[in-house]
């Protein structure tokens, strides 16, 4: 029996155990997926091996720590320095990022996305910005503090803090901050958000399982919006494929994982 886990702080809200266990149980794969509350990101690697894990997911705020913990990082995660999926490969910790492709899957239903504003500058924002750039999408980033913006400058994004923000029009605005995750905070001052919402076609939040105060604003303004559930499904399917080393069919994984959203 293989053991998998999700690491985060907070982690009790995570639906990942339900999603992955739904796949393992219903496709008869001998594995179990649990959750691990981790305060100190520098303890990720030793905790992973102490628990005897075959693989793991990593959520807020440890995705950059996960990148640093890896013996080897593969694929898109190397570009962004952010890891959300860990695999134990013969005692070595291998890191991947499935968030960005998960988000691209989630916004397939939105037409003609050429210009995006990202709220937040953390690990998820980095992954999304780099992925959008690969699609030649114009990207702006606004964050409450300046410290993390240099990554986005290097990617050739427009970058702002709340004080320096210059409004433009956008096809999509996506909240990648954790504001609204375990509180009722907005990701930026309300007046600023009002002007941004007047100038976008679509809104997305990467937080799932609740109508965040940000999505509530979009709802009140009659703007088409979606929460992070489809992104969660998209990244989960890709992570599960890595966990089972592609021994299960992607379509079967997706079906069983999607079913867990109804539970
Ligand atoms: P990080 O800790 O790396 O970054 C958090 C970002 O949020 C930073 O830019 C931080 O700003 C900003 N922030 C935090 N609190 C506030 C606040 N009260 N007001 C304004 N800005 C704030 O987090 P991650 O990028 O790893 O995760 C962010 C969110 O994305 C989480 O809610 C996570 O659950 C969700 N997520 C969902 C996924 C899905 O599948 N649906 C996948 C991945 C993530 P500063 O730099 O100033 O500190």
Q: Which of 148, 131, 10 is nearest to 79 (CA)?
A: 131
Q: How many CB atoms lie within 10 A of CB 135?
A: 11
Task: Domain 101-227: give its CATH superfamily.
Answer: NAD(P)-binding Rossmann-like Domain (3.40.50.720)
Q: How far is the CA of 136 from the centre of ligand 1 (A)?
A: 24
Instruction: State the virtual CA torsion across 67, 72, 76, 82 in degrees, nearest 10.
Output: 0
Q: How far is the CA of 212 from the centre of ligand 1 (A)?
A: 13
Pocket test for ligand 1, best of 19, 177, 183 (most atoms within 8 A of CB): 177
The answer to whether the CB of 19 is under 6 A from ligand 1 is no
The answer to whether the CB of 232 is under 6 A from ligand 1 is yes
Q: Whose CA is nearest to atom 32 of ligand 1?
A: 178
The answer to whether the CB of 179 is under 6 A from ligand 1 is yes
Split at pLDDT 50, 70, 90, the class of 117 is very high
Residues 6+ apart with CB under 8 A from 40: none
Give burial (CB, 10 Å; 0-12/13-18/19+) of 112.
Answer: exposed
Look at residue 73 and tell me whether its pLDDT is greater than 90.
yes
Look at residue 146 and tell me whether its pLDDT is greater than 90.
yes
Q: How far is the CA of 122 from the centre of ligand 1 (A)?
A: 6
- pTM of the model as a whole: 0.91
Give the tens place of pLDDT for each residue, 205-245.
Answer: 999 989 999 999 999 999 999 999 999 999 999 999 999 99
Give the tens place of pLDDT for each residue, 179-195.
Answer: 999 899 999 999 999 99
Question: What is the C-alpha separation between 240 and 127, in angstroms, rounded?
Answer: 19
Q: Where are the beta strands (DSSP E) in the chain?
A: 2-8, 31-37, 55-58, 72-73, 85-89, 92-96, 115-119, 138-143, 158-161, 170-175, 200-205, 224-226
Q: How many CB atoms lie within 10 A of CB 193?
A: 20
What are the structure tokens assigned to 37, written together? 């509350």
Q: How far is the CA of 2 from the centre of ligand 1 (A)?
A: 30
Look at residue 57 and tell me whether its pLDDT is greater than 90.
yes
Pocket test for ligand 1, best of 60, 146, 209, 237 (most atoms within 8 A of CB): 60
Gyration radius of the chain's alpha carbons: 18
Look at residue 123 and tell me whether its pLDDT is greater than 90.
no
Half-sphere exposure of 25 toward its Cβ, with a 13 Å CA cutoff? Answer: 12
Q: Which residues are catalytic?
A: 63
Domains 2-97+230-260 and 101-227 belong to one CATH topology = yes
Each domain of the chain, given as residue ranges in start order, spans 2-97+230-260, 101-227
Q: How far is the CA of 153 from the centre of ligand 1 (A)?
A: 19
The answer to whether the CB of 15 is under 6 A from ligand 1 is no
**The CATH number of domain 2-97+230-260 is 3.40.50.2000:** no
Cβ–Cβ < 8 Å for 127, 99: yes
Question: What is the C-alpha separation between 163 and 228, in angstroms, rounded?
Answer: 27
């Amino acid at each position: 029996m293989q053991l998998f886990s999700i690491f985060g702080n907070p982690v009790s809200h995570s639906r990942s155990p339900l999603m992955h266990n739904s796949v393992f149980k219903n496709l008869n794969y001998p594995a179990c997926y649990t959750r691990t509350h981790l305060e100190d990101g520098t303890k990720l690697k030793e905790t992973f091996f102490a628990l005897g894990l075959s693989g793991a997911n990593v959520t807020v705020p440890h995705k950059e720590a996960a990148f640093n913990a890896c013996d080897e990082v593969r694929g898109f995660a190397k570009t962004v320095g952010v890891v959300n999926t860990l695999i134990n490969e013969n005692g070595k910790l291998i890191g991947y990022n499935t968030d960005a492709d998960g988000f691209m899957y989630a916004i397939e239903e939105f037409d003609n996305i050429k210009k995006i504003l990202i709220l937040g500058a953390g690990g998820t924002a980095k992954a999304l910005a780099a992925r959008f750039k690969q699609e030649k999408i114009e990207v702006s980033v606004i964050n409450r503090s300046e410290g993390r913006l240099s990554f986005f400058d290097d990617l050739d994004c427009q970058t702002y803090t709340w004080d320096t923000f210059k409004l433009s029009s956008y096809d999509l605005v996506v909240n990648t901050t954790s504001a609204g995750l375990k509180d009722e905070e907005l990701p930026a001052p309300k007046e600023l958000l009002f002007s941004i919402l007047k100038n976008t076609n679509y809104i997305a939040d990467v937080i799932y399982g609740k109508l965040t105060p940000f999505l509530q604003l979009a709802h009140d303004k009659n703007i088409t919006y979606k929460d992070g559930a489809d992104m969660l499904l998209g990244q989960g399917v890709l992570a599960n494929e890595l966990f089972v080393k592609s021994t299960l069919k992607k379509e079967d994984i997706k079906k069983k994982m999607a079913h867990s959203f109804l539970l």
